[in-house]
Chains A and B, each alone.
Chain A
Amino acid sequence: MWPFSRRATSLGFVAGGGDDAADGAQLVARLLSGEAEALALIYRRESAPVYRYALAVCGQADWAADAMQDAFVAFATRPQGWQAERGSLGAYLAGMARHALLARWREAGRHVEQEAAEPDGEGVEPNQAQSPEALLVRRQAQSEVWAAVQALPWPFREALVLVDLQERSYAEAAAIAGVELNTLRTRVHRARQRLAERLSAGVLT
């Protein structure tokens, strides 16, 4: 069993359901009723985790900011697109940021693997090696770990970011990634395996 503690709120994300969903529903209801301030409240409540998710999966601060903006602008255009019974507002917004990032990669001519291929061949996938330099990588105290995370194939990287870096529940992470729960679990497990192999091989100091 993975020896992580599940500190749900320590990294800025609150697990979906319960009070979180109710708070989100209240804010959206206020927004739909025309309360101008509700928009800013929603932004301040949800923006940081969405930004961090985008930053962690793409490794670029400007792309992350653009993806965050795209997600929040799309939400502001149609707030009724979020339905509380489907998940938290934060997960909904992260999913929209995800779409924005994938679209941008496609526009940039980069192929993003939607399914995680098994590692018959080692090494970094070409699209990962061609990823732009991440400003955040240079600032991270654990830059080697960060680089290793960025080197993971997209499906593994996203799963690891959602579960291990942002400590979301598996259910919420699966919803954001758009995959079945078991698929998400498998991806997390394989991501950890790959990182652990690199660590034990001395790639990470």
Chain B
Amino acid sequence: MKPRNFDAEREPLQSLRAALQQTAQALNAARPSAAQERATLAAMRAARAAAPGAMAMGWRGGWSRVLAWSGVACSGAVLLAAAALLTLEPPVREAGRPLVAAASGFLPVVSTERWAGYLRDARTAEQAAQAWIVSAEMPRERLALLGLPYDPAKAGERVRAELLLHPSGDLLAVRFVP
């Protein structure tokens, strides 16, 4: 029987070990971008504020800053649930329009990457995404869920907004109507 050459068998494993260790060290340096981190934290806060039983007072303290373009991203499901609770009248849904054209003037509520991806897909897909715009009314205090500043003295007043919905049902962006 031919003896096994353990040295020859061990060498590729040792080389692999070294290579994986270097790869692991490089991976350890990877981090989300600062914008992604801000967006995720904002989305978490919005989700927590909308969660049943959350203590509302504790979650309003940090909302007094202007929404940055990529500073707020909220899970679509959370905002759809919030939107469903906001209005007392049936939402008015406009006929579908191409997403790219419809998106003008809206503030995205998804991450920058997702927003760019939706716009990119809408430009390239043959069956171009037909976005839906849903009109709704909401109390001013609900602006906090979207990371927007509001005057607490007018918390109960209602504002009109338009919600931009992707054909998949995802809530993409919000536009406030004067």
User: Looking at the complex, which one of A73, A160, A196 makes contact with B40 (CB distance below 8 Å)?
Assistant: A73
Asked whether, in the complex, the Cβ of A195 is within 8 Å of the Cβ of B51, the reply is no
Which interface class (under 10, 10 to 19, 20 to 34, 35 or more) fits B?
Answer: 35 or more
Is B39 in the interface zone, CB < 8 Å from A?
yes
Is A77 in the interface zone, CB < 8 Å from B?
yes
Is the contact region of chain B dominated by helix, strand, or loop, or is it mixed?
helix
Asked whether, in the complex, the Cβ of A142 is within 8 Å of the Cβ of B22, the reply is yes
Asked whether, in the complex, the Cβ of B111 is within 8 Å of the Cβ of A65, the reply is yes
Asked whether, in the complex, the Cβ of A167 is within 8 Å of the Cβ of B32, the reply is no
A55 proximity list for chain B (CB < 8 A):
27, 30
Asked whether, in the complex, the Cβ of A51 is within 8 Å of the Cβ of B27, the reply is no
Q: CB-CB contacts of A97-124 with B at 8 A, as 1s and 0s? A: 0000000000000000000000000000
For the complex formed, measure the closest distance between the CB of B24 and the CB atoms of chain A, giving whole angstroms: 4
User: Looking at the complex, which one of B13, B19, B23, B47 makes contact with A73 (CB distance below 8 Å)?
Assistant: B47
Q: How far is the CA of A78 from the CA of B47 in the complex (A)?
A: 9
User: Looking at the complex, which one of A31, A68, A73 makes contact with B75 (CB distance below 8 Å)?
Assistant: A73
Is A39 in the interface zone, CB < 8 Å from B?
yes
Is B124 in the interface zone, CB < 8 Å from A?
no
Is the contact region of chain A dominated by helix, strand, or loop, or is it mixed?
helix
Is B48 in the interface zone, CB < 8 Å from A?
yes
A39 proximity list for chain B (CB < 8 A):
41, 44-45, 48
Asked whether, in the complex, the Cβ of B12 is within 8 Å of the Cβ of A77, the reply is no
Asked whether, in the complex, the Cβ of A142 is within 8 Å of the Cβ of B32, the reply is no
Is A183 in the interface zone, CB < 8 Å from B?
no
Residue of A nearest to B54 (CB): A34
A56 proximity list for chain B (CB < 8 A):
27
For the complex formed, measure the closest distance between the CB of B9 and the CB atoms of chain A, giving whole angstroms: 9
Asked whether, in the complex, the Cβ of B40 is within 8 Å of the Cβ of A3, the reply is no
Asked whether, in the complex, the Cβ of A204 is within 8 Å of the Cβ of B19, the reply is yes
**Known contacts A56-B27, A196-B16; A73/B113 CB under 8 A:** no
Asked whether, in the complex, the Cβ of A73 is within 8 Å of the Cβ of B33, the reply is no
Seed contacts A43-B44, A192-B13; 6 additional CB < 8 Å A-B pairs: A11-B28, A40-B41, A73-B44, A73-B74, A136-B30, A142-B22
Please name 22 pairs of A and B residues whose Cβ atoms are closer than 8 Å in the assembled complex, sorted by A: A3-B13, A34-B57, A34-B58, A36-B61, A43-B40, A51-B32, A52-B27, A55-B27, A55-B30, A66-B113, A69-B43, A73-B43, A77-B50, A140-B27, A142-B23, A145-B19, A160-B20, A195-B16, A196-B12, A199-B12, A199-B15, A199-B19
Nearest 3 A/B pairs, CB to CB: A34-B55, A200-B12, A76-B44
